[in-house]
Amino acid sequence: IVGGHPGNSPWTVSLRNRQGQHFCSGSLVKEQWVLTARQCFPSCHAPLTGYEVWLGTMFQNPQPEEPGLQQIPVAKIVCGPSDSQLVLLKLERPVTLNLRVALICLPPERYVVPPATMCEITGWGEARGLSHRVLNVASLNVISNQECNIKHRGRVRENEMCTRALMVPVGACEGDYGGPLACFTHDCWVLEGIIIPNRVCARPGWPAIFLRVSVFVDWIHKVIQL
C-alpha cells in the first residue's frame, strides 16, 4: 500500500507460497473461507499443497512464535464466475476468531456503495518509502462508476467500482492484489471491493478500480453453502 500508514485489519490475510513467501492478500469472509483475486493463482485445478494463509499478525515476516499468529494450509480453490476475477480458498481448518482475527461482512447482493462512502485498503505490498514490513492501511472515498468512467473513458464495468483520485500517491500496489477494499457502513466494515491488478498503482489524479464484491455475493454464499 502506497501512501498509507501502519494499521489494523483483522480480516486481511497474507497468502504464502511453498517457500513461505507472501505473494498476495485475501479477505476472511467465513471461518474457513478466504476471498482473493484469481490472478494470484496458477490454476483452479492445480494442487495447492504447501500454500498457506497467515492471519493474526501485522508483520509481513512474523516470528514463528509470535503470539496470535495463525498459519493455516489452503485445502481447496474454487474459481468464481468467468467475469469475476475471483477465487475462494477453503482452509484446511477454521480460523480462531479473536481480537486479531475477525470476519468481514459481505454486502447484500448487488448492493451499490453510495459515492463518498469512507473505505480503506490494506496490505503488505509495495509501500514506496514506507515500510512494507508491517500492514499498511490507506483511506479512500468511493465515487460513482459514472464519474469514474469520465477519467477511464467508459472502460469501468458494472462489476467494478472506483475510489476518488487523490493528488498525492495513495493506493494499492504490487503484493496487495486480492486484498480488501473495506467500507464503513452502519458502524460495520463491509467487503465492498477486491484489489485487482491494475496497470498503474497509486497514480496521483487517477481513480483506482476494484472488483465489486456485491455482484458475486450469491456465488460466494452458494460455494460456502454447497
* Residues numbered 16-75 forming contacts with other proteins, rule: CB under 8 A: 17-20, 23-24, 38-47, 49-50, 57-59, 66-68
Q: Do residues 181 and 210 make contact, with C-beta atoms less than 8 angstroms apart?
A: yes
Q: 93, 94, 188, 205: which one contacts other proteins (CB under 8 A)?
A: 188
Q: 103, 139, 164, 224: which one contacts other proteins (CB under 8 A)?
A: 103
Q: How far is CA 84 from the centre of its chain?
A: 14
Q: 96, 116, 155, 222: which one contacts other proteins (CB under 8 A)?
A: 222
# residues contacting other proteins (CB under 8 A): 80
Q: 94, 174, 204, 205: which one contacts other proteins (CB under 8 A)?
A: 174
Q: Rg (Cα) of the chain, in Å, rounded?
A: 16
**Which of residues 108 and 153 has its CB atom nearest to other proteins in the complex?**
108
For the CB of residue 167, give the shortest distance to other proteins in the complex, in Å. Answer: 19
Within 197-216, which residues bind other proteins (CB under 8 A)?
197-201, 214-216
Q: 22, 102, 133, 141: which one contacts other proteins (CB under 8 A)?
A: 102
For the CB of residue 125, give the shortest distance to other proteins in the complex, in Å. Answer: 9
**Which of residues 63 and 167 has its CB atom nearest to other proteins in the complex?**
63
Grid coordinates representing 113 are 456503495
Q: 35, 87, 162, 190: which one contacts other proteins (CB under 8 A)?
A: 190
Which of 193, 205, 168 has its CA nearest to residue 84?
Answer: 193
Residue 158 touching other proteins (CB under 8 A)? yes
The burial of 88, by beta-carbon neighbours within 10 Å (0-12 exposed, 13-18 middle, 19 or more buried), is given as buried
For the CB of residue 204, give the shortest distance to other proteins in the complex, in Å. Answer: 14
**Which of residues 78 and 164 has its CB atom nearest to other proteins in the complex?**
78
For the CB of residue 128, give the shortest distance to other proteins in the complex, in Å. Answer: 7
